[in-house]
Amino acid sequence: MIYLDAAATSLQKPEGVYSAVDHAIRAMASPGRGGHEPAMLAADLAFDCRCDAAELFHMDAPENVVFTFNATHGLNIAINSLVRPGDRVVTSGYEHNSVMRPLRLRGAEVVVAASPLWDANAMASAFAAALPGAKAAVCTMMSNVFGFITPIEDIAELCRKNGVPLIIDASQAAGNMDIDFKALDAAFIAMPGHKGLMGPQGTGLLLCGQRGLPLLAGGTGSDSKNPDMPADLPDRLEAGTHNITGIAGLREGIRYVKEHGPARIGRHEAELLRRLGEGLGKVPELELFLSDDARVQGGVLSARHPRIDCEFIAETLGTAGVAVRAGQHCAPWAHKMAGTEHTGTVRFSVSPFNTPQEMDQAAEITAECVKKLLADRK
């Protein structure tokens, strides 16, 4: 199989991830739940993972790295911490439902800083116009539908000037873009562990610029006499037993990213995407959402065909051995920005483990599948 659905989950992992998960489930208990060796091994592992993440994302305090179940969990913590019912919150037009649905649930007044696809200057201008008077802002670093890299540094600077706390969704950026927590000065940055950081599903990180409010309450293995959640991070936001086997895999994934460098990984993925785009560009009538400027697009490429439903294309590709995703990708606003809200797209997304040869093969298989589907319509 040619796996081109890394924007959903990285299927191929570094070998160290598999070994770490196996070792942890055999040898480790729960951190903070005993002074015996299995518990202490788990505590050391969790601390080491926080330190590795803090180093990767340029943070001074590893205790401000909070473990979550996924990016959605982290974004809910961040939004719950900053937003009250009726608060005016500014978002980009490319946010995932993991942002838009929690804001709606919270009763926020959401202002979408709408901008055309690939136009970073227009996005920054839209934020500049919308931020005055806002209580918070949320912005993705990279669109999960189109790979559009947002001008997050400019938006962060605008938020600082307006005194508006910023929540960043780094779901598609963590692992393939340099993320400097200190330079961005965000209130929170949320990310999954199972995408670009190469960890297992059920893991994530929330980088905290402030203490935040607990979303869950319960045992932390610390300060047990306190009827309230502990005041300090990370325990304040980490109720219940940790996914220590997942954290073990996540640590190895982070170490892989540190070793190879997120910028280098990002360049590799961008090069693969251009090669794939070149091949797919030869498929008759297939519309590609490929920017002329490679600097504003990561390793995600969407496409659609005017005469074939996207779901049919994805299903046929899957049967032929190419794994992609079709539909709205949990990001209806992004489709509104690009004019694909009624059709959706077929999404191809790459990882560090894909090869140029796979891009050529995937393009050839796509051409064959499209030809077959058109023939079946006759």
Determine contact, residues 262/176, Cβ cutoff 8 Å: yes
pTM of the predicted model as reported, rounded to 2 decimal places: 0.97
> Which pLDDT does position 378 carry in this prediction?
65
> Which pLDDT does position 183 carry in this prediction?
98
Determine contact, residues 257/265, Cβ cutoff 8 Å: yes
Determine contact, residues 139/79, Cβ cutoff 8 Å: no
Q: In degrees rounded to 5, what are phi and psi of residue 345?
A: -145, 165
Looking at residue 217, its amino acid is A
From the number of C-beta atoms within 10 Å of its C-beta (0-12, 13-18, 19+), residue 330 rates as: middle
Round to whole Å and give the CA distance between 196 and 118: 22
Q: What is the mean pLDDT of each run of 10 residues along the chain (378 residues)?
A: 98 98 97 92 97 98 98 98 98 98 98 98 98 98 98 98 98 98 98 98 98 96 93 96 97 98 98 98 97 96 97 97 98 97 98 98 98 86
Please state the separation of Cα 4 from the chain's center in Å.
Answer: 16
Phi-psi region of 240 (alpha: psi -120 to 50; beta: other; left: phi over 0): left
E-only strand ranges, 39-175: 65-68, 88-92, 109-113, 136-140, 166-169
